[in-house]
Amino acid sequence: MSEEDGTLPGIDVTRPSIARVYDYLLGGKDNYIVDRELGDVFIKKIPGARIIAYDNRRALVRAVREMSRAGVRQFIDVGSGLPTADNVHQVARRHAEDPRVVYVDNDPMALAHARALLEGDGLTTVIDADLRDPAGIRDHEATRELLDFDEPVAVVLSGILHHLNDDEDPAGVMRYWRESVAPGSFFLITHFRRAEGTEAARLEEILQSSLGRGRWRTDAELHALFDGLILLAPGIVPSARWRPEPGAENAELTSWQLLIATGLAVKP
C-alpha cells in the first residue's frame, strides 16, 4: 500500500513505525515515505543495517525450528511486526504437527496484514496488545482460547525488547512471563548488543532521536534478562553465530553483525 492508495484506519504516516522500518530493511513494500527515510538513515549510518535485520530473522527461524523439535507446540510472538517469509507458524509447521501461535502487535498495518494472512486459520490468532502489558496479552480472550498455560509455551521476543527504554522495565516484562508459564517453557530474545569497539552508543542516539526509544544493551544486561532461566548453548552470541546452518559456523562476521545478539532459554 502507498500514500496514493490511501491508508488503513489508525495509521499515522507522519511518524515512522518500528514494524514498517523493519519491513523496509527486509525489502518489503508495506511502508511509507517516513519509514523509508528513517530506514535510509540507518542504511547510511549503519552500512550493515540490512544484514542485521536478516541475521535477526534467520536466527528466529532457527530458534523456532529448535523449539519445535524440542516438543513445543504453543508460541506467543510478541511484537511480531508485519508478516514476511517464514513467520513463526510457518516455520513451526515444518517441524511439528498443529502448532498454535498467538501473534501480538499494536501497529495498525501489522495487525491488518496479519489478520488477512491468518484468516480462517484456526490454529493462529493475532491480537492488538502492548509488549509493556504482558498480563493483557496472557489474559486476552483470544490468547486463552488458543493456548493452554498448563503446558509449555514459547515466548518469542525477537527484536522487540530493545525498543523498551530502561524505565519501561524490560526485566519486569520478562519476570512476568517467567512466572506465568509452565516449566519447560522456552524464551527467545534477539536484541541489539552493545559490543566493545562498535558505534552502538551513536546508533542508540539515532533511534532515540527518531523514535524516542531504543537501547543497545551490554552482554551483562542481556544475561540479566534471562534471570531465573536456564540459558541454552551457545549462550548469548551474535545472531549469525547462534546455531548457524552447517557450513556457516566459521564465517567471518562484520562489525555490524556483532550488534545483534540471540539467546534461548528454558524455564526449569
CB neighbour list of residue 212: distance below 8 Å, 6 or more residues apart? none
pLDDT tens-digit readout, 161-185: 998 989 999 999 999 999 999 999 9
pLDDT tens-digit readout, 113-134: 788 888 889 999 999 999 999 9
Per-residue pLDDT, 16: 77
Q: Is 260 helix (H, G, I), strand (E, B) or coil?
A: strand
How far apart, in whole angstroms, are the C-alpha atoms of residue 172 and residue 134?
A: 9
What pTM, to 2 d.p., does this model score?
Answer: 0.85
Taking only Cα atoms into account, the Rg of the chain, rounded to an integer number of angstroms, comes to: 18
Q: Average pLDDT in the 210-233 region?
A: 90
Q: By the 8 A CB rule, do 127 and 101 touch? A: no
Q: Is 233 helix (H, G, I), strand (E, B) or coil?
A: coil
238 has a pLDDT exceeding 70: yes
109 has a pLDDT exceeding 90: no
Candidates 70, 74, 22; CA nearest to 181 is 74
The amino acid occupying position 223 is: H
